[in-house]
Amino acid sequence: MINKTMDSAAAAVADIGDGATVMIGGFGEAGSPIELIHALIDQGAKNLTVISNNTGSGQVGLAALIRNGRVGKMICSFPRTANSTVFPELYRAGRVELELVPQGTLAERIRAGGAGIPAFFTATAVGTVLEEGKERRSFEGRDYLMETGLRADFSLVKAKKADRYGNLLYSKTARNFGPVMCTAAATTIVQVEELAAAGGIDPEAVVTPGIFVQRVVVVADPAHESQLVKEGRSYP
Amino acid sequence: MSAAAEASKGWSSEAMARRVADDIPDGAYVNLGIGMPERVAQYLPEDREAVFHVENGLLGVGPSPAPGSEDPELINAGKKAITAVAGAAFFHHADSFTMIRGGHIDICVLGAFQVSAAGDLANWSTGEPDAIPAVGGAMDLVAGVRTIFVLTQHTTKTGEPKIVERCEYPLTGLACVDRIYTDLAVIDVTPQGLVVRELAPGISFDEVQQRTGARLVAGASVST
């Protein structure tokens, strides 16, 4: 019988090794799998390459992973937001590397990685400093840059509901990078608020089909990053 | 004229947002940038319907939520709480940027540090050595959205022109801006140069030219 559910976040992230590439879903706090990130901090893997749109806020979640020295390199589009101090400090100190990627190019690189497409051309960033080192080609009179697909060893994603097959539903704008990140990792780990019975999710409504998901952990009442930041919390 | 009287001339930020909203046609799909452009939605004339897009996954942005009813999973690109209208749709990031990069969004309204005479835009980085570079979706929007409106004060807080011959700040995109709305004028970027289409009340063409770092052309309805 197929059953992708696991008992704990700790068990789900136990085999993420040093030097792994990890995609982490979320746009700001919406969709950030904070309990999986905290389990990864507890687990101790270091020198990670993290692919995520932002770099977290306050001293919890992704920001805490970075502050604990676990991240060697960030690949992201917007590494600063309100309440985001951890990444800027470590970046200025030269202790974490940054690959800055336009947001649409980031999403498409992940989509391409998941779809087995090694590279593609896009008009985004032509003539800007982010063109540096990239091949430029002209198609039908317009210039484009070559971008490569992104894959990861693991993806950590937050969704609303799953069944034991790993079929997923999301919540509003917390969906963001989740569906593409699920497709682009060797092992995709998803935290959900609710587990549906098999057959309990309408096949017409499935957003991420279970083939893209390897592990499901139920976190019934996930923490809200902004609330933890407001309370001045720090993890661990 | 005193400095205070000088500063009070031209369009208010509300009037600027209203002026942009006037140019959004019925049925348009529109992306509004973070900050002042967000205000455009509330001034859309009542006889028109537009669908507002946020790049983090919603078509059909509604008014701001009442205090206390914010949902941390329903936010805009500036990570502020929003609402969704009836008929809205949620989608993931690759679909959202397919809308942007595939030319499906009709209009994008963005802020600017600088706009050049050729319509180059600089709006993501001041290029200062210790700045943390953060680009977000700006480069995708200017590369993919069909019509790019810039909404900005005509000059910086210290009075430096923001419309210039060539941008000094790092570029967001080349030759991408179609129309510029400032507190002093509405200016089109055309093959014939920067054409002033409208002047704010009490503002002369010469005054706009004096506060602009590139040569302006007076449009047919603008007296010089």
- Is A10 inside any structural domain? no
Cα dihedral across residues B56, B57, B63, B65: positive or negative: negative
At residue B7 the predicted structure's pLDDT band, cuts being 50, 70 and 90, is low
Which of B73, B138, B174 lies at the smallest CB-CB distance from A127?
B174
How is residue B174 annotated by DSSP?
Answer: S
Residue to substitute from A172, A191, A221, A226, interface B, most B β-carbons within 10 A: A172
Active site residue B55: yes
Q: What is the CATH number of the domain that holds A192?
A: 3.40.1080.10
- Is A89 inside any structural domain? yes
- Is A13 inside any structural domain? no
Residue range of the domain that includes A199: 21-125+135-228
Domains and CATH numbers, chain B: 3-218 (3.40.1080.10)
- Is A5 inside any structural domain? no
Which of A88, A129, A175 lies at the smallest CB-CB distance from B57?
A175
Q: Are A151 and A181 in contact (CB under 8 A)?
A: no
List CB contacts (< 8 A) between B136 and chain A.
77-78, 102-103
Task: Compute and round to an integer the Cα radius of gyration of chain B.
Answer: 18
Contact yes or no for B71 and A172 at CB 8 A: yes
pLDDT lower than 70: segments of chain A: none
Is the predicted pLDDT of residue B8 greater than 80, yes or no? Answer: no
- Is A58 inside any structural domain? yes
Structure tokens at A121: 């051309």
At residue B130 the predicted structure's pLDDT band, cuts being 50, 70 and 90, is confident
How is residue A190 annotated by DSSP?
Answer: E
Residue of B nearest to A178 (CA): B92
Burial A102-130 (b: 16+ CB within 10 A, else e): bbbbbbbbbbbbbeeeeebbbbbbbbbeb
pLDDT tens-digit series, residues B100-120: 999 999 999 999 999 999 999
B127 versus B19: which is more confidently predicted?
Answer: B19
pLDDT, residue B5, reads 47
pLDDT tens-digit series, residues A81-124: 778 889 999 999 999 999 999 999 999 999 999 999 999 999 99
Q: Are B204 and B198 in contact (CB under 8 A)?
A: no
Q: How many CB pairs under 8 A join A and B?
A: 143
- Is A236 inside any structural domain? no
List CB contacts (< 8 A) between A107 and chain B.
92-94, 96-97
> What average pLDDT does the structure give for chain B?
94
pLDDT tens-digit series, residues B27-75: 999 999 998 999 999 999 999 999 999 999 999 999 999 999 999 999 9
- Is A8 inside any structural domain? no
Contact yes or no for B137 and A224 at CB 8 A: no
Q: Are B121 and B177 in contact (CB under 8 A)?
A: yes
pLDDT, residue A132, reads 96
Annotated catalytic residue: which of B38, B55, B70, B165? B55
Residue for token pair 């993890």? A235
Say what the alpha-carbon torsion angle A34, A39, A45, A46 is, to the nearest 10 degrees: 30
- Is A101 inside any structural domain? yes
Specify the number of domains making up chain A: 1
